[in-house]
Amino acid sequence: MPAVPSNRTYRRLFAAQVVALTGTGLATVALGLLAHDLAGPDAGAVLGTAFALKMVAYVGIGPLAGALAARFPRTRLLVTLDLVRAGVALALPWVDQVWQVHLLILLLQSASAAFTPTFQATIPDILADERDYTRALSLSRLAYDLETLLSPLLAAALLLVVGHDLLFLGTSAGFAGSALLVLAAALPTTRTTPTDRTTPATRRTPTPRGTRAYLGTPRLRGLLAAHVAVAAAGSAVLVDTVVYVRVLLGRDETAVAIALAAHGLGSLVAALALPRLLDHVAERPVMVRASAALAAALATTAATTAFLDDLRWPALLVLWAVVGAAGSLVLTPAGRLLRRSARPTDLPHLFAADFSLSHACWLLCYPLAGWLATTTSMPTTLLVLAAITAAATAVATRLWPAGDPEVLEHDHHDLTGEHDHLRGAVLVDGRHRHAHAYRIDDLHTRWPT
């Protein structure tokens, strides 16, 4: 397991993440049981709508996180959002109508959509060392993976002695504990970009700032394509596993949990190995090859489903573990790319843009995976999702240059020679030329060709 960075502030934030994720895992189990109580055989429709509302909140509210982080002290913002989530969780045991469930889930996920990118953008400010930050990214991935493995087991143990409505109390306690830990962490104050008298005037609103920088950076355009690949492969696992195991293989509910656990275990193992791997290999080859492995795993699953019989179950476990590992190898280094692509003051905007755009990929792939499984055969479903994953990998490879230096030589033609940014620049053909770590911002609106 990667060592936890010695920074005390980070340790408290990591503890806050673990506590909040534990509460979230309890809510996942409790919500399913609550939906069954309210809707019986239509519980799947209730949960499906709730899941769609989660994605809508993430896509719609996520971009606002950068603007909120720029306007409010981060500690106050994160604690407030945690308390909102705790309050919503406390209200869930008292609902008796489906619409009430959907309304509360929308509120809960809207708060999460603002909390998560703000939280993510805070970590680079705390851990300046690249190796510490890489370990932090892997630890964050481990926390998510352990939540998918351990929270259902914890919920099952609690259900032996309490009703499922009391699980929401555990969820509320998790968010409240997260708020206390964030409050004790002494986060750095929000930094704003100083106004320079010689900076060209801009009237851009803060909301699209991160999206503009994200889509203007080649490595991040490649990352977005990789997000599509992960979403297509992940949707096959999260949406279609229950159909594959229960209907196609005729196995019980425990087998569904085992298949999903295999996926989580693969992700866990990859997250453990990643820090050392990134010490020797750059992000691009790791992420592109892992994305290609996702497509290969789905295509292989389609082949084993169509042509094997008795071996389909063990093959599924192995291939789902491969999907989990490859997905982790794509997603975990993303924070390093975001950190490299923005100044500290712009990081909240960039993390918010990544949060929103990546969840938009899932919003498209989730219903597609469900519709395909309903209207076609399982091998066809897997092949279509494999084709999408392969196409996304090809696009990522094309958009993300193999040579991706951080420092780029470039010209400025719209700044006067007295501008502070042009200190040390050389005048070439009437343009000021210099080199530095290049990032899309108000002074650099386009990537140099």
pLDDT tens, 406-417?
A: 776 777 777 666
Determine the average pLDDT of the residues in 1-9. 68
Query: pLDDT category, 330, cuts 50, 70, 90?
Result: very high
- Give the pLDDT of residue 199: 38
Would 173 be classed as within a structural domain? yes
* pLDDT bucket at 166, cuts 50 / 70 / 90: confident
Q: What is the model's pTM?
A: 0.74
Q: Which domain holds residue 35?
A: 1-189
Residues 6 or more apart whose CB falls under 8 angstroms from that of 436 comprise 407, 408
Tell how strand 407-412 and strand 426-428 pair up: unpaired
CB 360, CB 214: distance < 8 Å: no
- 258 within some domain: yes
Calpha distance 111→223 (Å, rounded): 25
Q: Residue 174 pLDDT > 60, yes or no?
A: yes
Q: Number of C-alpha atoms within 13 angstroms, CB side, residue 434?
A: 16
How far apart CA 40 and CA 68 sit, in angstroms, is 40
Q: What is the pLDDT of residue 227?
A: 95
Task: Tell me what pLDDT residue 42 has.
Answer: 64
Instruction: Quote the number of domains for the chain.
Output: 2
- Residue 434 located in a structural domain: no
Q: Is residue 421 part of a domain?
A: no
- Amino acid identity of residue 361, one-letter, is C
Q: Average the pLDDT over 68-74 and give the result.
A: 77
Torsion sign, CA atoms 52, 54, 59, 64: positive
Q: Is residue 38 part of a domain?
A: yes
Share of the chain above pLDDT 90, in %: 24
The C-alpha atoms of residue 434 and residue 411 are separated, in whole angstroms, by 7
| Residue type for position 104 | L
Looking at the domain assignment, is residue 411 inside a domain? no
Helix, strand, coil: what percent of the chain each, to 5? 75, 5, 20
Shared domain check, 219 and 179: no
Q: Which residue has the tokens 């996304």?
A: 392
Any domain includes 72: yes
Pick from 156, 189, 222: which residue ends a domain? 189
Q: Is the pLDDT of residue 188 over 80?
A: no
Domain boundary among 128, 155, 189: 189
Q: Are residues 292 and 335 in the same domain?
A: yes
Give the residue, 323 or 252, on which the prediction is more confident. 323
Helices and strands (H and E) in the chain: how many: 15, 3
Same domain, 182 and 285: no
**Which among 434, 93, 147, 402 is positioned nearest to 267, based on CA atoms?**
147
Res 4 pLDDT > 70: no
Highest mean pLDDT among 195-199, 204-208, 272-276, 379-383: 379-383
Say if 443 falls within a structural domain: no
Average pLDDT over residues 271-275: 84
Identify the pLDDT of residue 152.
60
* Cα–Cα distance list, 324 to 138, 246, 267, 304, 333 (Å): 14, 21, 4, 18, 15
pLDDT band at 128 (very low <50, low <70, confident <90, very high): confident
pLDDT at position 233: 95
- For 379-394, the pLDDT digits (tens) are 999 999 999 999 999 9
What rounded mean pLDDT belongs to the chain? 81
State residue 148's pLDDT score.
63
CATH of the domain at 25: 1.20.1250.20
